[in-house]
């Protein structure tokens, strides 16, 4: 089987940014015309408010950061003298796709638990959709799953949270310092690099199929979609 995603612009751009013509091994090409659960992909720069939004909505969530590889994984990308966790090749796209397709088909899936300060997976957890017909999958690499999930027939929507880059930089830094994710100097240097690269990143996510929305509009869009599939999120519940 060919490597997935295929890293390379239309020759390289479409393969590098994850548009695929073949799903990972073990993932059916079409789950069902009416899957048990549909997936809402939510992406945006690190620190853009994705996690806060999902908590406010109160819908089942898969945190895609949990699919990072361990730091012992071979050939991980490097930047600033450390592993580049902002490069999609540091992340298990195949594993994330398979888990979300399993969740769509059965309403349950095993998800790894990832400890960011030590760059390791520390266990497994089960995400159960319960009675919800939609699940949010959020993370900086969510856009790379748009085409595979669309091919599998389980994609409900794909949204990119859009807010000013400087605001994102500040909230990301506060969060990362509070969680001791990395040494402070590394966090500041990485933060400025991410802020400079943010416009290009947004363009890439849009090419992959995500629609950019301010966080308040994303909140409304997801709540409306959840309601249309038969449930109300916290924002729309009486």
Closest CA relative to residue 172, chosen from 38, 77, 73, 50 = 50
pLDDT, averaged in runs of 10, over the chain (238 residues)? 31 36 47 78 84 89 95 88 86 94 94 91 95 94 95 94 80 78 79 79 91 92 88 44
User: Whole-model pTM above 0.85?
Assistant: no
Residues in the chain: 238
Kindly report the backbone phi and psi dihedral angles of residue 15, in degrees, each rounded to the nearest multiple of 5, phi listed first.
-80, -45
Question: Would you say the C-alpha torsion 18, 28, 134, 155 has a positive or negative sign?
Answer: positive
pLDDT of residue 33: 56
Q: Compute the distance between CA of residue 152 and CA of residue 104 in angstroms, rounded to an integer.
A: 10
Find out whether 107 and 155 touch, Cβ atoms under 8 Å: no
Find out whether 119 and 68 touch, Cβ atoms under 8 Å: yes
Q: What is the dihedral of CA 135, 139, 141, 143, to 10 degrees?
A: 50
pLDDT of residue 231: 57
181 — alpha (psi -120 to 50), left (phi > 0) or beta?
alpha
Find out whether 101 and 31 touch, Cβ atoms under 8 Å: yes
pLDDT of residue 71: 92
Any idea what DSSP says for residue 4?
A: S
Sheet holding 155-162, edge to edge: 61-63, 134-138, 38-43, 155-162, 211-214
Q: Locate the domains of the chain by residue range.
A: 25-228
**Close Cβ partners of 196 (under 8 Å, ≥ 6 residues apart):** none
Helix (H, G, I), strand (E, B) or coil at 159: strand
Q: Compute the distance between CA of residue 88 and CA of residue 166 in angstroms, rounded to an integer.
A: 23
- CATH fourth-level superfamily of 25-228: P-loop containing nucleotide triphosphate hydrolases (3.40.50.300)
């Amino acid at each position: 089987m060919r490597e997935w995603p295929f890293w390379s612009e239309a020759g390289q751009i479409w393969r590098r940014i994850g548009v695929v013509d073949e799903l990972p091994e073990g993932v059916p090409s079409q789950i069902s015309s009416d899957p048990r659960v549909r997936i809402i992909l939510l992406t945006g720069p690190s620190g853009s408010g994705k996690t806060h939004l999902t908590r406010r909505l109160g819908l089942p969530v898969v945190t895609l950061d949990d699919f990072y590889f361990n730091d012992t994984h071979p050939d991980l990308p490097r930047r600033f003298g450390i592993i580049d966790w902002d490069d999609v090749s540091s992340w298990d796209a195949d594993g994330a796709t398979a888990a979300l397709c399993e969740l769509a088909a059965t309403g349950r899936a095993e998800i790894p638990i990832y400890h960011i300060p030590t760059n390791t997976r520390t266990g497994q957890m089960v995400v159960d959709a319960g009675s919800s017909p939609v699940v949010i999958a959020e993370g900086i690499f969510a856009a790379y799953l748009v085409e595979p999930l669309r091919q599998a027939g389980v994609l409900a929507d794909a949204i990119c949270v859009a807010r000013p880059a400087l605001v994102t930089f500040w909230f990301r830094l506060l969060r990362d310092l509070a969680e001791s994710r990395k040494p402070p100097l590394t966090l500041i240097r990485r933060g400025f690099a991410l802020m400079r690269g943010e416009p290009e990143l947004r363009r890439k996510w849009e090419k992959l199929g995500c629609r950019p929305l301010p966080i308040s509009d994303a909140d409304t869009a997801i709540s409306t979609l959840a309601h249309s599939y038969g449930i109300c999120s916290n924002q729309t519940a009486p």
